[in-house]
Chains A and B, each alone.
Chain A
């Protein structure tokens, strides 16, 4: 298995551990990642809030470079926002030739041309469907017995395009968590919004959304995420949220490939577990008891 890899800006900064753990778990699973050369920002949520055309032109540039690079048809994106921005261009240009021509008019400035050959895939889609829980189970060296894990999907890997899971009641992470030997925390917040950039621009609103998620995770030993923004929102403000809500809502939050890596026997350092903001003694103790 071989994929063109689009890490996205967060994975070079605040989500370094997502990059580290994705790369090491993929290597263990025999998946080859070829990083897209000279990739640039997908526009995040900033482009679509300022210019429609820019929000399509920025991802289109990356798709055009990917098409040029390799005969591999699948681009793998671990960040849900990058995934959706790239996917949007794939979906829109497939249905709208005029849009394709407009974007190619822009890309021509850089001698690039988009044909529409590549398919954008989310990391979770690749783990759940291309690798699959059976293969993952075979790779497990240290089952995470008795750990209870709350799968958090967020929004943009599920909606608006329902590609690999139910967009409202997703389940794709459950067989993976079970394959690792852990138990699934069944809850109602798995696909509820974390507030995205509200935490930066409208903190009061962001705090409420995240508090609802953390409260519903009571009883779980950790929440796993598949998006840098969800991860940051859920883990970075726990003390403040606990103060506002007069309740200890501190919970370990880790990326799905980090959890997988722990069961696969990859070292905590290789998985960047020291880089998380919410992994403390409490989680390490549970991890030791589980092993």
Chain B
């Protein structure tokens, strides 16, 4: 019983750190120079600077990393990737952290995760994103009745200009269903 418990705890620790291990490998050559932090256009809004985040990743501080807003504030501008003197794929490492947060549905990143997932749901249904359907589902998923009002006037302008279709899609075509399914299947086995 005791051994089983220890093994279970060990297994949990390993599987919890496994996704992080891939990211640790990506940035293992980080020299903590801070070029990324100095270059990042979003650093002003972050709690940990990108440099600090990479240190936390190398130390395996999962709790601290996923309680921080830093990776979700990355807007994929690739300036850190371009300037990193060690040539590390820092933007991809940020994306990999976003992928873990999305995979585990972490509550703190609810807004971003719902935004991305509703976007992809629309793409999966129609092959191309339908902006009106996607934003409506996103706002519905946020369950915050005030949130849509920040975008209401923009939405009305876009509808008036015929830029977003208000016609609800009659039937999903699912042209990407096989690709989505195969990707899911492959990801389960890795």
Tell me the total A-B contact number using a CB cutoff of 8 A.
163
Partner of B183, one of A38, A45, A54, A209: A54
Check A49 against B95 for contact (C-beta < 8 Å). Answer: yes
Also in contact, A14 and B128, with CB within 8 A (given A47-B120, A109-B182, A205-B73)? no
Find chain B residues with CB under 8 A from A275 CB.
Answer: 161-163
Restricting to B113-166, which residues have a CB under 8 Å from any CB of A?
113, 115-117, 119-120, 123, 127-131, 138, 150-151, 154, 157-158, 161-165
Check B79 against A109 for contact (C-beta < 8 Å). Answer: no
How far is B18's CA from A194's CA once the two chains are assembled, in angstroms? Answer: 34
Interface membership of B81, Cβ < 8 A: yes
Find chain A residues with CB under 8 A from B165 CB.
Answer: 13
Find chain B residues with CB under 8 A from A45 CB.
Answer: 76, 116
How far is B124's CA from A47's CA once the two chains are assembled, in angstroms? Answer: 11
Check A40 against B128 for contact (C-beta < 8 Å). Answer: yes
Interface membership of B29, Cβ < 8 A: no
Partner-binding segment picked from B5-13, B39-47, B57-65: B39-47
Check B99 against A201 for contact (C-beta < 8 Å). Answer: no
Check A44 against B129 for contact (C-beta < 8 Å). Answer: yes
How far is B131's CA from A13's CA once the two chains are assembled, in angstroms? Answer: 7
Restricting to A218-241, which residues have a CB under 8 Å from any CB of B?
236-237
Partner of B182, one of A106, A156, A195, A198: A106
Residue of B nearest to A200 (CB): B115
Which residues of B are at the interface with A, using a C-beta cutoff of 8 A? 41-42, 44-45, 72-73, 75-79, 81-82, 91, 95-96, 98-99, 102-103, 111-113, 115-117, 119-120, 123, 127-131, 138, 150-151, 154, 157-158, 161-165, 175-176, 178-183, 186-187
6 CB < 8 A contacts A-B: A14-B164, A40-B128, A46-B123, A52-B95, A58-B176, A201-B111
Given contacts A50-B113, A57-B183, A196-B76, 4 further A-B contacts (CB under 8 A): A54-B120, A61-B179, A105-B182, A195-B41
